[in-house]
Amino acid sequence: MPLPRRSWAEPFKIKVVEPLRLTTPEQRLAALREAGYNTFLLRSRDVYIDLLTDSGTSAMSDRQWAGMMLGDEAYAGSENFYRLETNVRRFYGYQHLIPTHQGRGAEHIISRVLIKPGDVVPGNMYFTTTRLHQEMAGARFVDVIIDEAHDPASEHPFKGDIDLNKLERVFVENPGRVPYVSAAATVNMAGGQPISLANLKAVRELANRYNVKVILDATRIAENAWFIQQREPGYEHRTVAQIVLEMCSLTDGCTMSAKKDPLANIGGFLAVNDAEIAAQAANLLVVYEGLHTYGGMAGRDMEAVAIGIEESVQDDHIRARIGQVQYLGDKLRDWGIPIVLPVGGHGIFLDARAFLPHVPQDHYPAQALAAALYLDSGVRAMERGIVSAGRDAETGLERHPKLELVRLTIPRRVYTQAHMDVTAESVYAVYEDREKIPGLRMTFEPKLLRFFQARFEPR
Ligand code: F0G
């Protein structure tokens, strides 16, 4: 009898292991209370399977660890900076590298260089730190993503696409006030959804007509490129590396959190083609990050990023990375658990509105669901709903996003298929008991990026 399918396996074997700690339900309840029902405030020692984020949590390769030994910790002109610059040019095609301590350092610098108070920045859905830096530089962010992105059940293959009519309206209504389009690949808050190359090309053409720049958030660009290879006609025979280069060629520069796709534990950069913008950015860099040849990273970290970039665009790596996310998603979907479809690149997003219909949005259903999941099994997830959306910069009122999600984010090269099974079974158990999960009341609200440090109690 022929096999129903042939399996894929991870393109690596494990050389070093890190023990995990199992906890009792009593220990988890105590830890959760201590953390104010916010998974960001849990101690990692109290977590069993950590799906809080894919940021800085990747397992580095033996080559990356070997590269760490080649750290040139000179204050100026480190060898590792030049290796990173070479790989940024080779794999993304941008001319000028401005290294930063992580993604938000790059967002800060580019926002300060390009935005004037009163400007408007359109983008394919907000990201928390990106939008905040744009607002702090004096801009108003306008979401111009296609409507399907706000519908967890829409199976549109490119839910990260920009709605060209919405974008043109922003250009027409704000002449001379739009410094750049903020285009993310993939779109984190929509569920790790990709933007298509056809759409990015159309955005470029429209932006050219209105003399507007396009700045890419390239944080998960290799994952985005994989979806293009799998779904976009004409790209099935192109490598992920080729697609990444083509995407970058349509933009004026990028911000990068090297803690995601590039497989490093810390680091990031801004990269641009315009020499004048690069010079202004490098000048601000010495004020806020560090000298322009390290920008907040140690030499060894720049080396790990340089090697990680190369590994991140290998097709067999991305196939296994997204294949693992897909495996977890398929299980949950087959059990009828409400998740964002299609499954995105870096995690599974539970639809907390559909999961907990009895909890109104003002009682923070996604926050409550993330807490319930932790209580069940020690799996740590992250709220991506009303708490993350925060308050409107002008009115001070709470924003009410359409998407109220819990993100199970899969670190790269860290967990096995058995960990995915344990996670799926815990989500199933919580779903069976969902009616008993209470909403939450916020007892402490920080002023900025409140989701990181807010505290809650059950209602
Ligand atoms: N852009 C995107 C799309 C991100 O997902 C992140 C970080 C950043 C920028 C900022 O980069 O953390 O290096 O300063 N996302 C993390 C997450 C925090 O968990 O999704 P950073």
- Cβ–ligand 1 contact at 217 (below 6 Å): yes
Burial of 343 (0-12, 13-18, 19+ CB in 10 A): buried
CA of 238 to the centre of ligand 1 (A): 27
- Cβ–ligand 1 contact at 128 (below 6 Å): no
CA dihedral 389, 391, 393, 397 (to 10 degrees): 140
Comparing 25-54+315-458 with 62-312, is the CATH topology the same?
A: no
The secondary element (H helix, E strand) that includes residue 315 is helix 315-334
Alpha-carbon distance of 44 to 145, in angstroms, equals: 35
Q: Which residues are catalytic?
A: 75, 127-128, 217, 260, 384, 451
Contact 429, 376 (CB under 8 A): yes
Contact 197, 243 (CB under 8 A): yes
Taking the mean position of all CA atoms in its chain, how far away is CA 195? Answer: 14
Ligand 1 pocket mutation pick from 107, 260, 301 by most atoms within 8 angstroms of CB: 260
Sequential DSSP letters for 211-276: T-EEEEE-TTHHHHHHHHHHHSTT-TTS-HHHHHHHHHHTSSEEEEETTSTT--SS-EEEEES-HH
Alpha-carbon distance of 405 to 65, in angstroms, equals: 35
Instruction: Write out the two tokens for 245.
Output: 């280069």
Domain boundaries, the chain: 25-54+315-458, 62-312
Predicted TM-score of the model (pTM): 0.96
Give the position of tokens 């059950």.
Answer: 458
Q: Whose CA is nearest to atom 2 of ligand 1?
A: 219
Options 3.40.50.300, 1.10.630.10, 3.40.640.10, 3.40.30.10; CATH of 62-312: 3.40.640.10
Alpha-carbon distance of 50 to 58, in angstroms, equals: 11
CA of 56 to the centre of ligand 1 (A): 10
Fold annotation for 25-54+315-458 = Aspartate Aminotransferase, domain 1 (3.90.1150)
Alpha-carbon distance of 370 to 407, in angstroms, equals: 8
Per-residue pLDDT of the chain (459 residues; tens, 9 = 90+): 888 888 889 999 999 999 999 999 999 999 999 999 999 999 999 999 999 999 999 999 999 999 999 999 999 999 999 999 999 999 999 999 999 999 999 999 999 999 999 999 999 999 999 999 999 999 999 999 999 999 999 999 999 999 999 999 999 999 999 999 999 999 999 999 999 999 999 999 999 999 999 999 999 999 999 999 999 999 999 999 999 999 999 999 999 999 999 999 999 999 999 999 999 999 999 999 999 999 999 999 999 999 999 999 999 999 999 999 999 999 999 999 999 999 999 999 999 999 999 999 999 999 999 999 999 999 999 999 999 999 998 899 999 999 999 999 999 999 999 999 999 999 999 999 999 999 999 999 999 999 999 999 999
